[in-house]
């Protein structure tokens, strides 16, 4: 059963956020950043026939994100899809396929990954806290999505809200006197930190800089005693993360609706 989130249900919602920690930490941090009264950010709790939590849902503009158990009913999710103009759904691969069978659209899929390597004690003298205009430039040069879908003012305002709450940390890599790469710890919960938005401008690629930034972020998360996690955008990217001691721990899906 689907419930618009209330203050009384927040403990159960936080429990549901632990079912999948990458999306779950993002959803939990969003709740702690924006609260229940924000008109742009919407939250729901799904419960099963025993009234136990089975999914936490977070809607931001037209993107719906879930942390869910396998037995979560897709029919409950359809209530949100019918009431809101959702274009993208991020969730477990099992639920993604069920929703596609009901709603159509097309999917992408890759791995949830968790770091299982040694403690990193390297020094990273050329990585520093980010200047957001420089980071946005790197992201635009690296990814079409940032060029076509995002505006700096909106992107930076949302990111600064998360940074001010201590959930997000953004860094930049300098080479040859200019910023050529970036990466972030985008979300955190009590036991994990999530790597995201790792990018290197095209002319500096194939030098191992993406792995270098990732190792730095792993070391920052390890300093807090938490476990580094991430989602790989594609299976090919997962192979690169395997080389720095990340291992797959499940499969996630994106469903794009027309």
pLDDT digits (tens, 9 = 90+) for 207-222: 999 999 999 999 999 9
Provide the token pair at 227: 């476990």
- Check: CB of residue 33 under 8 Å from CB of residue 3: no
**What does the buried/exposed string (b/e) look like for 116-136 if buried means 16 or more CB atoms within 10 Å of the residue's CB?**
eeeebeeebeebeebebeebb
Compute the distance between CA of residue 213 and CA of residue 136 in angstroms, rounded to an integer.
Answer: 16
pTM of the predicted structure, to 2 decimals: 0.94
Is pLDDT above 90 for 258? Answer: no
Strand order across the beta sheet in which 106-115 lies: 2-4, 41-47, 53-60, 63-68, 88-92, 246-256, 106-115, 227-231, 192-200, 178-188, 169-175, 127-129
Total length of the chain: 258
Compute the distance between CA of residue 91 and CA of residue 70 in angstroms, rounded to an integer.
Answer: 10
Compute the distance between CA of residue 13 and CA of residue 67 in angstroms, rounded to an integer.
Answer: 10
Provide the token pair at 143: 């990814």
pLDDT 10s digits, 75-88: 999 999 999 999 99
pLDDT band at 39 (very low <50, low <70, confident <90, very high): confident
3-class secondary structure, 96: helix
Is pLDDT above 90 for 64? Answer: yes
- Check: CB of residue 184 under 8 Å from CB of residue 170: yes
Looking at residue 18, its pLDDT comes to 97
pLDDT 10s digits, 40-63: 899 999 999 999 999 999 999 999
Compute the distance between CA of residue 63 and CA of residue 129 in angstroms, rounded to an integer.
Answer: 28
Compute the distance between CA of residue 82 and CA of residue 90 in angstroms, rounded to an integer.
Answer: 17
Within 8 A by CB and 6+ apart from 184, the residues are 130, 168, 169, 170, 171, 195, 196, 197, 198, 217
Is pLDDT above 90 for 233? Answer: no
């Amino acid at each position: 059963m689907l419930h618009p989130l209330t203050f009384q249900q927040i403990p159960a919602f936080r429990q549901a956020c632990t079912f999948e920690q990458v999306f779950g930490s993002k959803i939990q941090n969003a709740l702690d950043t924006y609260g229940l009264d924000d008109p742009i950010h919407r939250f729901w709790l799904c419960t099963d026939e025993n009234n136990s939590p089975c999914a936490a849902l977070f809607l931001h503009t037209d993107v719906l994100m879930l942390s869910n158990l396998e037995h979560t009913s897709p029919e409950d999710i359809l209530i949100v899809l019918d009431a809101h103009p959702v274009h993208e759904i991020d969730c477990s691969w099992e639920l993604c396929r069920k929703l596609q069978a009901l709603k159509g659209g097309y999917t992408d899929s890759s791995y949830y990954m968790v770091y299982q390597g040694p403690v990193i004690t390297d020094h990273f003298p050329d990585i520093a806290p980010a200047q957001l205009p420089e980071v946005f430039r790197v992201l635009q040069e690296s990814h079409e999505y940032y060029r076509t879908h995002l505006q700096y003012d909106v992107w930076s305002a949302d990111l600064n809200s998360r940074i001010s709450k201590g959930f997000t940390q953004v860094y930049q890599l300098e080479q040859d006197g200019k910023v050529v790469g970036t990466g972030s710890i985008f979300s955190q919960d009590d036991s994990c930190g999530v790597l995201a938005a790792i990018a290197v401008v095209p002319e500096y690629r194939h030098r191992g800089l993406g792995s270098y930034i990732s190792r730095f972020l792993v070391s920052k998360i390890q300093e807090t005693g938490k476990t580094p996690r991430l989602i790989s955008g594609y299976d090919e990217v997962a192979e690169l993360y395997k080389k720095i001691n990340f291992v797959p721990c499940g499969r996630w899906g994106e469903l794009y609706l027309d």
